[in-house]
Structure 1
């Protein structure tokens, strides 16, 4: 559909004008569809490398040369006890001990009185922690707080908070006790994270219900003044948020596409007149909008 090379609108209009335009669209739109990626949590300080990584995983870095939390999740650990030592720490600090990041709270304050829906590829539960209505949220790629059968032999997920806290508390020398290694209650196979990393990802009843609510929201607002607000979405999985937002904007002359990102802020030339592209810190942009009269 979009044959030409995407352009950056941010080079044409200054920061202040773009922020003012975005503020106006948030206030005047009939509905807001928020699409959030990893950049949103990065803006909240949920860094997966650097000081935060070294503080929590220096032993794994020393033994295996792992450089960040993302790559550590794919490492072929020698034993399941070590695998779950890694993951229990990872989940504890990124899901159960992390409070709601400020950008998430700022976003909620801006949209809480609007008719809104959030679709996200993030798995860290930050939207729920900030107070976003779960019925207005579709977390497409899973949740750190859920396990599934690794086969998978059935399409169900399981809450893991109690088990994760036990693993984190009782691990020693980068291993958890063998009796804490989780197994599927149906077939006995090892449990694994409910994260979309391969074709074994379980889409349970909650996933399908959220997908249906999202599709219904989009359907009910077709042809209306809709703001598609993209926050921190990269190019790893553009088919989930970015490309659909572009397409829906192109199909609706009343729609507006807004992209806020510290990196790429692109839009196809076909929707340039309907787009707001701001290259900068998401946290700062949301704060600036909130502070404007």
Structure 2
């Protein structure tokens, strides 16, 4: 461990120990570091038949593939949802992260949609999944504000998939308007924010008020620039305006932050798993 890295680890350890509040912001890089990757061997092992038929290259871009039929579309999405939401258990990285903050007053805001925080011990009341969750379906046109847990349906779809298609009778239809359904993901203007979404949004804002002006750690983990207005930019602004705040940023590609925060930021571009493990020691 080089001295600069060691010094940053020690500073992060001390700040976390001394903090009154810790706000975690989890992005896609965090789940990728935990092993939930959308490309490479994990993709080719799980989607070989879809790759052969449609020329798919990774799970992210495949989510936008224009399947000709709903039977084909849901054969793909059932597998996508299963391998990311239902098949994986709690990962070591998320469990280590929980050990790091469990005795603090913490909250989580995440753009990730695979429930790793809750699986790994974080309280459901302290997690705001702002972009949705793979485990639920919604009306594709958002005709009403209810979402539907999909585990049993997803497993049935996979069981009955033949030649990259599910049976017509398994294609989900909105119980209110009869239209097609979508995964509950923020992919367009029809994203459904149900009662729980608004409850968690309220709890998140209450946490921000409670921690304002206090010794607070904003721990930003694997957050890129797809949706920087949800975590990255707000965390930088809150760090700047809160005298007692420290921003701990774990980001392999974009570790640098806004001007004015240099003395209040501890940045790591090293592997997230390694950094969390070292801080936990």
Task: Establish whether TM, by shorter chain, passes 0.5.
Answer: yes
Q: CA deviation at 1:78?
A: 1.2
Tell me which of 192, 197, 219 is aligned to 1:229.
Answer: 219
1:18-33 paired onto structure 2 within 5 Å? 18-33=8-23
Partner residue, 2:271? 281
Q: In the TM superposition, what whole-angstrom CA distance separates every residue of 1:229-251 from its partner, at most 9, and x where no partner exists?
A: 00000111110001000111111
Tell me which of 251, 254, 268 is aligned to 1:264.
Answer: 254
Count the aligned residue pairs.
279
Partner residue, 1:255? 245
The answer as to 2:192 corresponding to 1:202 is yes
Contact 1:231 1:260 in 2 (8 A): yes
The answer as to 2:107 corresponding to 1:117 is yes
Contact 1:46 1:94 in 2 (8 A): yes
Misfit runs of 4+, over 3 Å: none
Contact 1:30 1:226 in 2 (8 A): yes
Tell me which of 51, 66, 72 is aligned to 1:61.
Answer: 51
For structure 1, the residue ranges without an aligned partner over 5 or more in a row are 1-12
Structure-2-length-normalised TM-score: 0.98
Q: CA deviation at 1:167?
A: 0.3
The answer as to 2:93 corresponding to 1:103 is yes
Partner residue, 2:6? 16
Partner residue, 2:175? 185
Q: In the TM superposition, what whole-angstrom CA distance separates every residue of 1:188-211 from its partner, at most 9, and x where no partner exists?
A: 011111100111101100000000
Partner residue, 2:24? 34
Find the residue that maps to 2:94 and give its secondary structure: helix
Q: CA deviation at 1:49?
A: 0.6
For structure 2, the residue ranges without an aligned partner over 5 or more in a row are none
Contact 1:263 1:280 in 2 (8 A): no
Find the residue that maps to 1:16 and give its secondary structure: helix
CA–CA separation in structure 2 for the residues paired with 1:152 and 1:141: 15
- Relative contact order (alpha carbons < 8 A, sep ≥ 6): 1 or 2 greater? 1
Contact 1:101 1:130 in 2 (8 A): yes
